[in-house]
Amino acid sequence: MSCDTIGASLSVTGLNWGPRPDLLLVKDVKFNLAAGDRLAIVGPNGAGKTSLLRCLYRGVAPLAGRIAIDGRDIWQMSARETARNVAVVLQEMPGDFPFSVRDVVMMGRIPRREGLTGWTDLDRAKVDHALEHLELLAMAGRQFSTLSGGEKQRVLVARALTQEPSIIILDEPTNHLDIRHQLELLELLGNLNLTIITTLHDINLAGAFATHVAMMADGRMIGFGSPDEVLTNHAVSSTFGVSAVTHPAFGDRPRHFSFSLATS
């Protein structure tokens, strides 16, 4: 899928967040991404991955630290400007949503509207383009609430792409998808000229998709770098409490891990 926008750099320094100062869920996180980088955030449940994402898309205000897009602090941008730069796909899906698939995807164009004008031909063309590439045209008229979890996820990704963001943030985007659609979605995202930040439970998908991996535990970023640098047998085993073994790339199959329960 082609994209008219390009990615943006993202800089995070000294980031702390929690529901109160004595209960931090994100602790002194710092990293830098160049425009077009793809970051996969991995870690066990409760590591602070989703809380970090909420800070990055301005869902919550950090207690300390700075987040900057192309050098500009996101908290010095208007909400509208932030929405033009950052699109978000969350795990939580609205259930009884009284809109059609096309209506939901069209909502991604709201940050691009000027004043109270109606939808333009450009808006409709962007929506059709996203529906086509996510194989949603056939169900464009269906009610969103009647879709399966995987179909809903694809609709929400299409809505994010119609925003024409420079950064797209996704929280476990493959959770509701079958294997084929997991691979198709990550291939689609990887071909976009955008900066992408996503949490992923699947270590092998993270390693194959990302240019950078961040490993988190107890709210801290304990590793950041290329997949080969961060996803080592020792780091994965100790962080997740399993025995991880790396298998080298062979033929068309990339480097990957197998796992077993750690023995004492």
Express each pLDDT in 141-187 by its tens digit: 999 999 988 888 889 999 999 999 999 999 999 888 888 889 889 99
Q: What is the rounded CA–CA span in Å between residue 17 and residue 25?
A: 6
pLDDT tens-digit readout, 37-77: 999 999 999 999 999 999 999 999 999 999 999 999 999 99
- Work out whether strand 212-217 and strand 38-42 pair parallel, antiparallel, or are unpaired: parallel
Q: What is the rounded CA–CA span in Å between residue 140 and residue 155?
A: 9
pTM: 0.91
Domains identified in the chain and CATH numbers: 10-231 (3.40.50.300), 232-264 (no CATH)
Q: Which two tokens stand for residue 203?
A: 């270590």
Contacts of 76 (CB under 8 A, 6+ apart): none
C-alpha distance from residue 187 to each of 49, 65, 82, 118 (Å): 22, 33, 26, 33
pLDDT tens-digit readout, 68-126: 999 999 999 999 999 999 999 997 766 667 899 999 999 999 998 877 678 999 999 99
DSSP 210-251: -SEEEEEETTEEEEEE-HHHH--HHHHHHHHTEEEEEE--BT
SS3 143: strand
